[in-house]
Amino acid sequence: MKKNSFLRLAGLMLVMAMITTIALGGTLAKYRAEAVGQAAAKIAKFSVIVGEGTDHEVDIAIPDQTISIPLFETVLDTVDSQPDAHVSDGYIAPGTRGAFDLDIVNRSDVALDITVSILGPTGPDGAPNPYIEFLYKEFDGPGALWSPGGLAGGSGMPKITLLPGESISYNSNNIFDNTVLWRWQFERSVDANVAESALGVYAAANPETVWNATVTITATQVD
C-alpha cells in the first residue's frame, strides 16, 4: 500500500515538473530577427523594326503583324538595268528585273539572329505563275547562282546576327552589299515563251489578279 502511494506521488511530481517546464519554456528570453528585402530586375525588351522611317514601318515582335515589302517597286530592264520603258508602270514582264530597299533594326536588349526568306510570286488557284529568279547580291557575274522561285532564309540568304541597336539594310542602290535581286529572263526557251505568253493572256482576262511573293523575316534571340 505504501509502495503504491509512493509511486503515485512520484508520478504526480513528474507530471508537475513537465507542466512547469512547458509553462516556463514560452517565457524564456531569446534573440530573433527577421528582414524582408527586394531584388529588382528589368526584363529585356524585344522589338524588331522592319521598314523603319517608311510608311510601312512595323514592329514584327508584336504578334500577327503584316509587313509590306517593296520587292517589285523597282522594275528595270534586264539588258541595261535602267527603268524599263517598254513595260507599263507597276507591272512586271519577261525581260524585267529589280531590287528593293529594306531596313531591319534590332531595338531589343538582346542579340538577334535575322533570317529572310522569299517565296514566289504565286497567283490564285488555277493561275499560272511567272518564272522569277532571285539572287542575294554579294556577287553578280558569270557563275552567279540565281535561285528560281525564291530564296531560303539561312541558305540562299545568310543568317545575320544583330546586336542591340544594330541594323541591316538591303539596298537596291548598292549591288555589292546586302541586296536582293529578282529577274524575269527574256526568251529562255520556246517552251518558256509559250508558257509566259499564256500567263500574259491570263492576266489580260483577269486584270484584277495579283501575284504575291511571300517574304518571311524571322528574328531569334541568340543564346
Between 103 and 171, name the one with better pLDDT.
Answer: 103
Yes or no: say if 201 and 120 are a contact pair by the CB < 8 Å rule: no
Mean pLDDT for the stretch of residues 151-164: 81
Q: Can you give the pLDDT at residue 5?
A: 63
Q: Can you give the pLDDT at residue 17?
A: 63
Q: How is 69-98 classified by DSSP, letter by letter?
A: --TTS--EETTTSSB-TTS-TT---TTEEE
Mean of pLDDT over the chain: 82
On the question of pLDDT at 179 being above 90, the answer is no
C-alpha cell at 78: 534586264
| pLDDT tens-digit readout, 73-99 | 878 887 777 788 888 888 889 988 888
Is the entire prediction scored with pTM above 0.85? Answer: no
| pLDDT tens-digit readout, 110-133 | 999 998 888 889 988 888 889 999
CA distance 171 to 169: 6
Mean pLDDT for the stretch of residues 185-190: 81
On the question of pLDDT at 161 being above 90, the answer is yes
On the question of pLDDT at 156 being above 80, the answer is no
Between 63 and 137, name the one with better pLDDT.
Answer: 63
| pLDDT tens-digit readout, 24-81 | 555 567 899 999 999 999 999 999 999 888 888 999 999 988 888 878 887 888 777 7
Q: Can you give the pLDDT at residue 23?
A: 55
Whole-number Cα distances in Å, 176 to 51, 117, 170, 181 = 20, 19, 10, 11
Q: Can you give the pLDDT at residue 138?
A: 59
Yes or no: say if 44 and 109 are a contact pair by the CB < 8 Å rule: yes
